[in-house]
Amino acid sequence: MKNKKIIGFSFCLAMLAMSNATNAQNDPSFKQYRFNALTLNPAQAGANDYSDISVLGSQYWVGMPGAPQTATISGNFHVFDNFGMGASIVADEVGPVQSTSVNLVGAYHLKLNNKWKFSTGLKLTGMNQNVMLSELHTTDPGDPDMVQNLTTGLSFNAGFGFLLYSKKFYVGFSKPRVTAFRFNRMDMSMYVDNKSGYISYAGADLKLNNRLEIRPSVMTMYGYGGPLNLDLNVLFTANKLIDFGATYHLKGSVGAIIGLNVKDKLYIGYSYAYPVNKMNRVSVQSHELAIRLKLNKTNKKADSPRFFN
């Protein structure tokens, strides 16, 4: 019996670890940060000179059973020149692990001088996470520890972040959640490393000529109990209409990004990733699709650079 339980738990823990490596557990799907800066840092709320509503979908490692998939809807609202608000709903599924979170954010933007602004943001999160043990196939269908699902119930968390930016450069730091999550029925602390972590990122928006811009960026995640996550991106924008570029995830994947800006109101973005580790023995493709609708854009020139999209 003990060995059977270990086998079942090992599968669950592998999926939890996979979820942690991909989506930082119950935090938003940070793989989508190329199209939605609000998932990185609550201080991004209101940083643009417009409000927007975004819908994002991700499918990782297509063809592998239990592969991660994420759906997100979010709104980032430029309320005043010095204040922004945002909200998002994120649904993740990784193997038997399912999570849903609702996030509310607010940010205050302080003008430091004619070139630079500094913003600080707060995030409140309500979430529920389940491990569907009853859906797993085990050698002992009657094992009492494998027929009841694990759940965190409705739990609450908070996060914060900071952003320093100008028209050409930005650097940000955030802590997406300040407390760890816990399951109601069972103490999983000895199996699951649920430490909260930190995110740092930086980038630029540089004009090469009258028709072409380049936007390099870097993002790191650390302190989650696993190895350092590092993403490098370079994106080109032609005629303020078409985006194209490449992305690299350290020891993980390489990929391509394309985007289309329709009349400066509708943005459609797509990202493809190819694994460069042993995962390519199972699947050779991951996809992300983003659709963003821009609202009530102001006539003034933006104080902040375009953040990936």
Mean pLDDT estimate for the chain: 81
Q: What pLDDT score was predicted for residue 40?
A: 87
Tens-place pLDDT, residues 220-233? 988 766 677 899 99
CA distance readout (Å), 37 to 72, 161, 212, 305? 13, 12, 22, 12
Q: What pLDDT score was predicted for residue 259?
A: 93
Q: What pLDDT score was predicted for residue 60?
A: 84
pLDDT band, residue 22 (cuts 50/70/90): very low
Q: What pLDDT score was predicted for residue 255?
A: 92
pLDDT band, residue 197 (cuts 50/70/90): confident
pLDDT band, residue 17 (cuts 50/70/90): very low
Q: What Rg value do the Cα atoms of the chain yield, rounded?
A: 20
Share of the chain above pLDDT 90, in %: 46
Q: What pLDDT score was predicted for residue 30?
A: 60
Q: What pLDDT score was predicted for residue 32?
A: 64
Q: Is the pLDDT at 7 greater than 50, yes or no?
A: no
Strand partners, 175: 160
**What is the mean pLDDT of the segment spanning 193-221?**
89
**What is the mean pLDDT of the segment spanning 274-290?**
85
pLDDT band, residue 25 (cuts 50/70/90): very low
Q: Is the pLDDT at 39 greater than 90, yes or no?
A: no
pLDDT band, residue 202 (cuts 50/70/90): very high
Q: What pLDDT score was predicted for residue 33?
A: 74
**What is the mean pLDDT of the segment spanning 111-131?**
92
Q: Which of 45-59, 242-256, 288-302 has the lowest mean pLDDT?
A: 288-302
pLDDT band, residue 115 (cuts 50/70/90): very high
Q: What pLDDT score was predicted for residue 21?
A: 40
Q: Is the pLDDT at 284 greater than 80, yes or no?
A: no
Domain boundaries, the chain: 2-295
Mean pLDDT comparison of 138-152, 215-229, 256-270, 284-298, highest-scoring range: 256-270
Q: What pLDDT score was predicted for residue 292?
A: 92
Q: Which of 114, 54, 52, 115 is nearest to 84 (CA)?
A: 52
CA distance 129 to 157: 13
Q: What pLDDT score was predicted for residue 94?
A: 82
Q: CATH for 2-295, among 2.40.160.40, 3.10.110.10, 2.40.10.120, 1.10.238.10?
A: 2.40.160.40
Q: Is the pLDDT at 300 greater than 50, yes or no?
A: yes
Q: What pLDDT score was predicted for residue 306?
A: 73
**What is the mean pLDDT of the segment spanning 221-248?**
88
Q: Is the pLDDT at 118 greater than 90, yes or no?
A: yes
